Amino acid sequence: MRLPRSIRFSTTNSLVLIIVITLAFVLLIRRNFETHGAASSHYGGHVERFQIWETMKQMISVPKHDEGQQFTMRMTTERMSLFTQKMMRFQSLEVKVNVNVKDPSLFDHTTIKQTEDASDRYLNKGHNKTTPESLSPIITKNRERNLTAIGNDLAFRTSLVEKECQRLSVFGTPDNAVRDIMTNMATKLAYCYIPKCGCTFWKRVIRFLNGDYAGRNVTSPSHIRRIETHSSAYSNPNTFMPFNVYRKLSKRFNSFMFVREPYARLWSAYVDKFYLPDFWSNFQAEIRSRRSPSRASRCVSDVTFPEFVSLSLETQEPHWDAMHQACDPCTFQPSAVGRVESFASDSSYILHRANLSWMMDGYDHDAHVQEELTTLINYNIELVAVKPYIGKCISKVGLFLRLWKAFQINGYLPANVKPPPLFRTTTTAEFTKIVLDQYRSRPNTPEVWRKQRKRFMIEAYKTLPSRALHAVRMKYTRDFILFNYNPRPDEIFGNRQ
């Protein structure tokens, strides 16, 4: 007897579904064993597993008119999703455990020796390097669990970037979309840097690994001065590798980049470069030409945020250009895309994969902030000597007051606390001590400081006319799409049309 067509169709689909699930299971198990070695050293393995899942969903799609089958298939895909997630988590755990040892498939003997040499430079100066062997089993397990979660976040984020690149490919790629790549041959790290996205930290790391700093006895990346990090010449040719050379070698590297929420990045550029004096001399002529005659002769030490935004919309400069113009991920094709919003955890994971976990061992946020405060004070004071124009526009006491306010804007100091009396005789060391003492005595939690920092930014964006705000949104459109940031956050746009 011939079965009704609806039953035959349902039976056929059930058989196909069973075959698909079986094949998926075999593929994932097989990949777990095949990628346990060399292939697991690349972040891209996570992305491929996401692609497998997307392909599976497409294979089992059914016509929309059959609501009964739609429900059955939806329930099946949900179960498959949970199964796939568990398999991915299992594979990720295997990868993390494998990376903990000096696997020859991840690092050749030269890599191990050179990374140990860098580690020894750190240890020989009395620093404690905490290794997994010296940690308790509970701490080690928690660390592995945290690294697994961070790795999965990075993999998911990178897979989203890859998908958006495929969608945007019809519009072409911007010209000169990737600058020279910072590399370290020993650890196989390749970093495409974007200003205002944590690049000072990673430039220091690459310089330190390459021994690319002045003749001083540096024992840690943080010992390389900020002004030297950005301004000193590079002596090691591998520190910056031309992209056309890197492209031919890219499969040998663990490549990465960091991005940041575009509105926060633009605001940070203003505070660091125009509220503080770094770019006053660079753009004095441009700013004066935009001002009325009554203000044109003044120093440009009073640039407002609306003035800066207008300038940023009409000039090109890496600190406020769109991020994809400095490093287009569709061209660079990074293994990992980190975010400033999760900078410490993302950086820890990348260093861990490069066998450099010791660089973040004993990381203390308070110590990091105090080092950052000290660095910014010294950097801005040194600018006065490097750029004489600054000294003509602001006194030392005036610069101290600007720094105090900038630290409040960045959430390091309480917004309602005024600095003690400062004098011409106040030294940089004395001012630094005042700042650090105030930071250490802060009564609030990190969440309160984040809210304070965000509050300053929101208030600044309220001063922009609607036309300028929408122009900013349009300028960073591709960044919003590529890196999955909200182009119209409510706290900034409010009820603006």
- What pLDDT does 223 receive? 81
- Residue 496 identity (one-letter amino acid): R
- Measure the CA–CA gap between 373 and 381, rounded to whole angstroms: 12
- What pLDDT does 174 receive? 62
- What pLDDT does 61 receive? 38
- What pLDDT does 422 receive? 96
- What pLDDT does 294 receive? 81
- What pLDDT does 238 receive? 83
Cα Rg of the chain (Å, integer): 26
Average pLDDT, 10 consecutive residues per value, the chain (497 residues): 50 60 57 39 39 40 37 38 39 34 32 45 45 48 82 93 88 70 94 95 93 80 83 84 91 94 98 96 92 84 96 96 94 94 93 89 78 92 91 95 97 93 96 96 81 96 96 96 96 85
- What pLDDT does 278 receive? 95
pTM tops 0.85: no
- What pLDDT does 16 receive? 58
- Residue 148 identity (one-letter amino acid): T
Torsion-angle region of 494 (φ positive above 0: left; ψ -120 to 50: alpha; else: beta): left
- Residue 142 identity (one-letter amino acid): N
- 444 touches 220 (CB < 8 A): no
